[in-house]
Structure 1
Amino acid sequence: MSQDINILVVDDVAQNLVAMQALLARDGIRVITASSGPEALEILLVHEVALALVDVQMPLMDGFELAELIRGSARTRAVPLIFLTAAATEAKTTFRGYEAGAVDFLYKPVDPAALKSKVNVFVELHAKEKQLSRQLEELRQALHMNEMFAAVLGHDLRNPLSSIMMGAEAIRLVSDNPQITASADRIRSSGDRMMKMIGQLLDVTRIRSDGIRLNLQPKSYVDIGRKIAGELAHGRPDKRIDIESRGNCEGMVDGDRLEQIFSNLIGNALQHGEPGAPVQVGIDGSAQRSIVVEVRNGGVVPESVRPYLFEPFRAGVMQRHPSEGLGLGLYIVKHFVDAHGGKVELHSSQEEGTAIRIAMPR
């Protein structure tokens, strides 16, 4: 059951408070009254209100002074204020009222229809704000649960998967039967792909939950690039990976993250490149303040795909075989590059093929 929405009425005349309560109170709306500014401030410390109707002319603390105190508190500064006054319209008074934070003025005797109409607007706005707040909280909790689930799932899957892969390798070593060794190779290949997916899920969970913590050390981009290229080439003997470098390619970088960047970029190029076309990796350290890495392959990224290329779980928009991955590789690359203060760009054309270029601060 939803709670009533509170409206605060502040007036030093008791009859006016009774009249306002009779006029505005209805199902779903609770009218809270205060006969002075200090009493109104005490109420605002306890109750959340959608709107405050404040009389301007009150003893001890007038409506403008009360409004300034309300605006000075983080808890109450967002409360809409409508001033009620019996004074004739004066530019000076109106200016001071709006300066104090008023959203409107109503002059006594108040038109009941106009007052109800204005109050209804703020009541509806408050109700929608509360609804949106609840929905955002529900979404936040759901996202948190999803991230926890992905982290636990990824962690708990690694141990049995490692056992499966070790078993497949043992079978391959002890058997001379071609059919058995072929089956063991398929198990190992599938296990490698699953391990990569689990690693990507854990990376995404860390990115969205805790952020990325970098361990910066002097590293050679060329050494790391050649290491990853060698590992990937071993699993894809039908593909060629060419690496070229120039200049000083050493910089302060998180080596583990850089390995993942190279692995995702080169792996993506191997997976999506044109058959027979080599994957070209260029590492340019000729600039004083930055190191540029470019991974190029044959083929063109469709125009419709480019806006989503670095978003998560977009495997289906680009892959010929969606089972090949989760579509997290380039999303992870972008976040790792961003964490280092670098930039990542896509260049794709019929003439030059597709290249993903990252520029990292040295």
Structure 2
Amino acid sequence: MPMTIDIPPPASWGIAMTAHEPTQLLLANVGWHLGTGASEVHVYLDDPQDPAAPLLDGLERVHVTRCDGAHWRQVAPSGRRPPTHRRRQGLNANHALGRCKVDWLVHLDADEFLVQDRPLGEEMAAVRALDCELYFPVAERMYLPGPQTTIWDGVFRTCTRALIRRGDGIDTQRVIYGDQADCLDFGVLGHSAGKCAVPRGADFRLGIHWAFRGEGRQRAERFRSTAARLLHFDGLTPLQWWAKLRRYTEYDPADFNIAAQRQAQIDRAAKAGAIPGGREALHAELKEIGPAAQARLRAFGLLYEVPFDPAPVLSRVLGQVPDFSVEAFDAELRRRLPERTAGLP
């Protein structure tokens, strides 16, 4: 007797993020996801006085939370603002999960964008029967040599996580990436872990990159998305990348564990900062990809070359396109983070 196959209707989904970023980036992230299928967007503004708040408040389907003292007294077990951004992100993601009305919720950073090859809601509806998280593999933006005209310029390299398994002692990462291997996590400078979505109304808890079941540390089972991938802009401009590395040095080691590849970047950045032109040279080495390196990654299937331009979607959703020039972005970044950007090129 043939199996009866019921095709469920597409699931609704939304995103949640905690952010303290230039207004251009916040509007881009919110508008992109609203325009590509999200039914809800939950934005937690790490700065309760964030000037982007009125703009976001005026958008339908966007829920804005100013993370002031009252918010942390409600959300944080200590009743106080947690010292690290990771802890604040996790608490806010699960706060959003508890109050959202969508079928699935995705936890993202403001510099991460989901791009779909086919409708995400259809995949989520099917995956719900598996009782697991939906995992989005990451692709990280790389700059092309030459001047950067907008914050979206470049191509993307994909991570090697789950592609490499060997026990003969050969360092595959070093074979592919050479001397850069120490600064990379499965082929990317940021994170190779990707991000995930979980269904509402079950016993899932959202972490930064993956989900848990129940109240303990049991990792949720996962299904790797074949409908969407995560584009990560680990530094929308060189200035933002330098500021990001500087932020990691501000944390108490007792509160924050820095990944090995990120620590290697921080160490190299400290040395580069003491040499005239050193920062620019290091950025070119680690963040730019020339024709030969592109060809090498392309041969391994590790290059995603579809351009990302959110402008048409934002024009339709927001009725405007923010200024995405490098100059405008960096000016806003310096205004928001004067101490963290001081002295950086």
Structure (1/2) with the larger helix percentage? 1
Which structure would you say has the larger RCO, counting Cα contacts within 8 Å and 6 or more residues apart? Answer: 2
Give the TM-score normalised by the residue count of structure 2: 0.21
Give the TM-score normalised by the residue count of structure 1: 0.21
Q: Which has the larger radius of gyration?
A: 1
